[in-house]
Structure 1
Amino acid sequence: MKVAVVILNWNGLPMLQHYLPSVVTATPEADIVVADNGSTDGSVAWLQEAMPQVRLVLLDKNYGFAEGYNRALAQLEGYEAFVLLNSDVEPAEGWLAPLVEQLEHNDDVAVVVPKILDDKERTKFEYAGAAGGFIDLLGYPFCRGRILNRVEEDCGQYDNACDVMWGSGAAFCCRAEVFEELGGFAAEFFAHQEEIDFSWRVWLSGRRVVVEPRSKVYHLGGATLSSDSPFKTMLNHRNNLAMLYRCAPTAQRLLVAVVRPALDAVAALDYLVQGKPKSARAVWQAWRDFLRWHGRLSAERKAIRANVKREAPIYHGSIVLRYILGRKSF
Structure 2
Amino acid sequence: MASDTTAGSCADVAVVILNWNGRDFLRQFLPGVLAHSAGATVFVADNASTDDSVVMVRAEFPAVRVLENGGNLGFCEGYNRALAQLGPEFRYYVLLNSDVEVTPGWLAPQRVLLEANARIAACQPKIRQYSSDPAARQLFEYAGAGGGYLDSLGYPFCRGRLFDTLETDTGQYDDARPVAWATGACLLVRAEAWHALDGLEPAFFAHMEEIDFCWRLQNVGWQVWYQGGSTVFHVGGGTLHKSNPRKTYLNFRNGLALVYLNTHPAELPAVLIGRVALDWVAALRLLLQGQTADFRAVLRAHWHFVGRLSYWNSRRRQFPPRLRLSERVGTYTGSLVWAYFAQGKRLFKDLEVRSEK
TM range (shorter): over 0.9
Q: Find out whether 1:229 has 2:247 as its counterpart.
A: no
1:23 correspondence with 2:33: yes
Q: What is the SS of the residue equivalent to 2:332?
A: coil
1:249-274 C-alpha deviation (Å, 9 max, x unpaired): 12432123222222222211211222
1:278 pairs with one of 293, 296, 300: 293
Q: Which one of 314, 319, 328 corresponds to residue 336 of structure 2? A: 319
Match of residue 99 from structure 1: 110
Tell me the equivalent position of 2:98: 87
Calculate the aligned-residue CA RMSD, in Å: 1.5
DSSP 3-state at the match of 1:71: helix
Pair 1:51 & 2:69 matched: no
Asked whether 1:263 is paired with 2:281, we answer no
Write the distance in 1 (CA, Å) between the matches of 2:13 and 2:74.
Answer: 23
Give the match's secondary structure for 1:7.
strand
Separation in 2 of the partners of 1:185 and 1:103?
A: 20
Query: Which residue is 1:177 aligned to?
Result: 192
Aligned pairs, number: 330
**Superposition pairs for residues 117-266 of structure 1, below 5 Å?**
117-120=128-131, 121-266=136-281
Tell me the secondary structure at the aligned position of residue 122 of structure 1: helix
CA deviations on 1:286-306 (whole Å, 9 max, x unpaired) are: 101110111111121122117
Alpha-carbon shift at residue 311 of structure 1 (Å): 4.6
> Residues of 2 paired with 1:57 and 1:268: CA distance?
39
CA distance in 2, matches of 1:12, 1:312: 37
Give, in angstroms, the shift of residue 138 of structure 1: 1.2
Shift in CA distance, 83/53, structure 1 to aligned 2, threshold 3 Å: same
Structure 1: give runs of 5+ residues left out of the alignment: none
Is the 8 Å Cα contact of residues 66 and 186 (structure 1) preserved in structure 2? yes
Q: Which residue does the alignment assign to 1:290?
A: 305
Q: What's the counterpart of residue 73 of structure 1?
A: 83
Q: Which residue number corresponds to residue 8 of structure 1?
A: 18
Cα distance in structure 2, aligned partners of 1:241 and 1:265: 12
What percent identity do the matched residue pairs reach?
46
Distance across 2 between alignment mates of 1:191 and 1:259: 24
SS of residue in 2 equivalent to 1:262: helix
In structure 2, C-alpha distance between the alignment counterparts of 1:317 and 1:293, rounded to whole Å: 29
In the TM superposition, what is the alpha-carbon distance from 1:45 to its structure 2 partner? 0.5
2:267 aligns to what SS in structure 1?
helix
* Residue 6 (structure 1) shift: 0.4
| TM-score of the two chains, using structure 2 as the length reference | 0.90
Q: Which residue of 2 aligns with 1:114?
A: 125
Deviations 1:70-123 (A, max 9, x none): 000000112000011000001111110100101110000000110000002210
SS of match in other structure, 1:317? coil
Gaps of 5+ in 2: 1-9, 349-357
Deviations 1:203-259 (A, max 9, x none): 111110000010100000000000111000000000111111111112432123222
* 1:328 corresponds to 2:346: yes
Q: Which segments of structure 1 move beyond 4 Å, counting only runs of 4 or more?
A: 306-311
Alpha-carbon distance in structure 1 between the residues aligned to 2:313 and 2:106? 40
Q: Describe the shift of the 1:304–1:46 C-alpha distance in structure 2 as closer, same or farther (beyond 3 A).
A: same
- Structure 1 residue 326 displacement after superposition: 3.2
Q: What residue number does 2:3 align with?
A: none
Tell me how far apart the structure 1 counterparts of residues 261 and 192 of structure 2 sit (CA, whole Å): 22
Distance 1:263 1:214, change over 3 A: same
2:285, 2:264 → 1: CA distance? Answer: 30
Judged with a 3 Å threshold, the aligned counterparts in structure 2 of structure 1 residues 284 and 89 are, in CA distance, closer, same or farther, namely same
Alignment check: 8 A CA contact 2:102 2:232 kept: yes
Distance in 2 of aligned mates of 1:251 and 1:145: 32
C-alpha displacement of 1:26: 1.1
Q: Could you tell me how far apart the structure 1 residues matched to 2:186 and 2:205 are?
A: 18
For residues 183 and 237 of structure 1, what CA distance do their matches in structure 2 show? 23
Contact 1:203–1:311 (CA under 8 A) maintained in structure 2: no
Give distance in 2, aligned partners of 1:260 and 1:253: 10
